[in-house]
Every structure is written in C-alpha cells, then in structure tokens.
Amino acid sequence: MISNFESGQVIEGKVTGIQPYGAFVALDEEVQGLVHISEVTHGFVKDINEHLAVGDEVKVKVLNVDEEKNKVSLSIRATEEAPKQTAKPQKKAAQDNNDETGGFNTLKDKLQDWINQSDDSKK
C-alpha cells in the first residue's frame, strides 16, 4: 500500500520502466514510484538510458507521497553525495599598464595617448 511510504524515507527499489522523462521504480510488489529525469543524478541528464536500465536495483529517497492520486515521487540523486565543484580559474585582473593594445580604457582616457602617438609618428 502507498500509505506504507513517507517523505524522506530511503529504500531500495527496482527499475521497471524507462521513459524519456524518468524511470519507474517498484518499491514493493504493489507500489511503483517515478524518478523524474532531473532526479536521476547530479548534473544534466540528456538521455536517461545512459544512467539506468530496466532491472537495475537502485537506492531512492521518497520525495512526496500523494495518496489521493496514488503517486510516489522519488529521487536517486538525493541519496548520493553532491560532487565537489572544482574551482574555476579566475580571470586575470585588468592590468594597469600603458601598452598599446588599448585594453578597456575609455576613449577619453586614450585620446591623449593617441594624440601623442600621432605627434611622435610625424617627427
């Protein structure tokens, strides 16, 4: 019976079907729940078949039990530790030099440099 399950419970189940939007998991002989594709693993899942197959034994966490609609929402990723995020390389800070590349200086800032360069090239 669906009332045997409650939100937050972690249990073992067996994948009984796969659709593009998620996987159906049998929690016992009478009750199945759905693991939405966004709850399969951490990160983006383009093709659920790359992560699950019918017959797979999976550990799932019960997210929601809707007795009225007889639906159980499940998550596999909630039973897994989130991957550690690698530090992204920081962008180099804008250098304060007067090289002739121009950088991100405003026209007003560079105008005098250009006038000087123009005068130097005329000499």
User: Do the domain assignments include residue 110?
Assistant: no
Question: Tokens standing for 4?
Answer: 């045997």
102, part of any domain: no
**Can you give the residue range of the structural domain that contains 75?**
2-79
Q: Does the residue 32 lie in any domain?
A: yes
Residue 61 lies in a domain: yes
Burial class (CB in 10 A: 0-12, 13-18, 19+), 33: buried
Element containing residue 113 per DSSP (H, E) = helix 107-122
Domain count, the chain: 1
Q: Residue 70: inside a domain, yes or no?
A: yes
Q: How many CA atoms lie within 13 A of 69 on its CB side?
A: 8
pLDDT at 4: 85
Residue 84 included in any domain: no
Spell out the per-residue pLDDT of the chain, length 123, in tens.
Answer: 788 889 999 999 999 999 999 999 999 999 999 999 999 998 899 999 999 999 999 999 999 999 888 899 999 999 988 888 776 666 665 555 555 555 566 777 788 888 888 888 776
CATH number at 48 reads 2.40.50.140
pTM of the model: 0.65
Residue 33 within any structural domain of the chain: yes
pLDDT reported for residue 110? 81
Q: Does any domain span residue 73?
A: yes
pLDDT for 91 equals 65
Structure confidence at residue 97 (pLDDT) = 52
